[in-house]
Structure 1
């Protein structure tokens, strides 16, 4: 990413607030995508594998966003995301021209199975920057909502550059995924000031390249940003993967049938266990990024996945809080 020298008035408090916002947004995507994926009854299905690959990359994005936040003195906090109506944290699709919600509709931010609403929402979440890069005037500190994740990261990158002297290396830096990226093994910020800024901007480049992609999402993800261990369609951005699913809405995979409210004690218990284990996952993440090592992150992620599946199998839509 190239960031101009234009001063836009960022202060440290505002930058930290925005960095926590990025953590919240990245965290929001993971349960939403997991719920849609586990609603599919055939794990070998192309759509299941595409979403699974995206979730793995979203976990990397969350880690990198947290590492940047810690480098600027914002210890990330984790609370259960809210899935309500059409609200997605910090993203206002109407700021795009054209407005993508006129094409990707209907959509919903409510947790649900892999259906037309969820597929459209997933495409919207990963919607690329459309057109020219935003001018510095639109990056001002009072902005809270952005047209896309890429624009949000652009804005924060301006603040990071302006406050480069505040960047500190080796502060609660976590690397859970280096093994999966042999061409991008350095996932911690190890330098102060300008050297650390270059590392942080490299993290942003990876996140945006994997997620929204460049050139309206249809160009290949850079080789150095591809998963080298357990990916699927590694050269495809998230936007391209989700659009691929959307291109065949009439051929969506079979899904579990479920109700919004549990129909029996088994369904209530399945949902209760999911909420409990998800809360534990958030506690683990909070510890990890506050400098308190945990060795149970991977196991807890697997348990949460199994809990989501159990909800679908017992005929109830998953809930996370």
Structure 2
């Protein structure tokens, strides 16, 4: 699939069609990006000593709470991105992400080329599943705020915020031809101070603000300089971007980038983690096979929910995947969410 070029303004009917197609492609990519983060973050979360474990420390409890809160909000973001697809007249295509390979736009995810001053990364993102210590730099790269990024809004984008900025622009230009369909859109999270159903450009724009501000924090000019402080990366206003109801206010006040900076500031070491994983990890262990089976079932469920053929409650099966990933770590293996033959 080729990426339709961004247009300055619609000049002819065929341009309107191209703009709508480009907006739909970007909404599909948004679904892929949000889905990409969830297994990656859940794997890191599952590697942390659970807060109720006898050997849990204050550091492990703080890290667990921060990463869990981000995982919860990423599920909200996935719901919003899928609803954007429906609004734009396309059904979201949930496809299991593959890690450890360089992604390509638009079929690969997350089509990011971050310039992250917190990690020094400035290359195409190639996420590899690992424990929290191994994954944290990439987690910061994924959530890097757009104010650190420059350049035209063309892929590969330097941040999730840039990708959503391009989607917003395309949706605005294509708005007269957008059907703004609400049939099969889903609202599975607690009541929010913003609409979760996308029925207009304003709704779409608000949803993008929520996703970006929860992830990156409020844009600052000039951008902060290293060393960074999480207080510089807060969610701007609680009435616009409050958490999902299951995210404590102590976490919801910080953006995802800020929460991961807080985790980084804990100075974690191997003693905080229970499961290091090994270089000889078995991707076909019984625990990994169960994870792969349950994840494949979830992907099928998600596709059915937004196609209107599956009850919406099935999305919550995503939370059980945390136990599956923990079971993999407990056996000394690294979670592998997709079968080897897909890689």
Q: TM-score, normalised by structure 2?
A: 0.78
User: Partner of 1:64 in structure 2?
Assistant: 80
Q: Distance in 1 between matches of 2:149 and 2:110?
A: 24
CA 1:119–1:132: 2 relative to 1, 3 Å: closer
Please name the residue that 1:285 is paired with: 302
* Mapping for residues 187-202 of structure 1, pairs under 5 Å: 187-190=196-199, 196-202=200-206
2:58: which partner in 1? none
> Is 1:164 aligned to 2:175, yes or no?
yes
1:230-309 mapped onto 2 (5 Å cutoff): 230-232=246-248, 233-251=251-269, 253-262=272-281, 268-309=285-326
Instruction: Provide closer, same or farther for how the CA distance between residues 228 and 304 of structure 1 changes in structure 2, counting only shifts above 3 A.
Output: closer
Tell me the distance in 2 between the aligned counterparts of 1:166 and 1:159.
11
How has the CA–CA distance of structure 1 residues 124 and 86 changed in structure 2, closer, same or farther, with 3 Å as cutoff? Answer: farther
| Number of the residue aligned with 1:193 | none
The corresponding residue for 1:11 is: 19
Whether contact under 8 Å (1:209, 1:222) holds in the other structure is no
Is the 2:33–2:110 contact (alpha carbons within 8 Å) kept by the matching residues of 1? yes
Contact 1:28 1:81 in 2 (8 A): yes
1:297-321 deviations in Å (ceiling 9; x for gaps): 2552232121111111111111111
| Distance 1:56-1:250 versus aligned 2 partners, 3 A rule | closer
Question: Could you tell me whether the CA contact under 8 Å between 2:28 and 2:85 is conserved in 1?
Answer: yes
Q: Is the 8 A contact 1:104 1:120 kept in 2?
A: no
Q: Tell me the residue number matched to 2:48.
A: 40
- Per-residue deviation at 1:294? 1.7
Which residue pairs with 2:238 in the alignment? 223
Separation (CA, whole Å) in 2 of partners of 1:262 and 1:131: 36
Give 1:127's aligned residue.
Answer: 144
Query: How far off is 1:85 after superposition?
Result: 4.8
Cα deviation, residue 160, structure 1: 0.2
* In 2, Cα distance between equivalents of 1:103 and 1:263: 29
Structure 1 unaligned runs (5+)?
191-195
Aligned CA distance change for structure 1 residues 15 and 108 (closer, same or farther; 3 Å) = closer
5+ unaligned residues in a row in structure 2: which ranges? 1-6, 53-60, 104-108, 224-231, 339-343
1:114-172, Cα deviation, whole Å (9 max, x unpaired): 11x311100110000125886xxx23xxx321110001100111100011123223132
User: Which range is displaced more, 297-306 or 286-295?
Assistant: 297-306
What do the CA deviations read for 1:239-279 (whole angstroms, capped 9, x no partner)? 00001111233457223132355569xx7111111000000
Aligned residues: CA RMSD: 2.7
State how many pairs are aligned.
296
In 1, the alpha carbon distance for the partners of 2:243 and 2:294 equals 27
Assess, with a 3 A threshold, how the Cα gap between structure 1 residues 309 and 16 changes in structure 2: closer, same or farther.
same
Aligned counterparts of 2:326 and 2:313: Cα–Cα separation in 1: 20
CA distance in 2, matches of 1:260, 1:301: 27
Structure-2 change in CA distance of 1:314 and 1:236 (3 Å): same
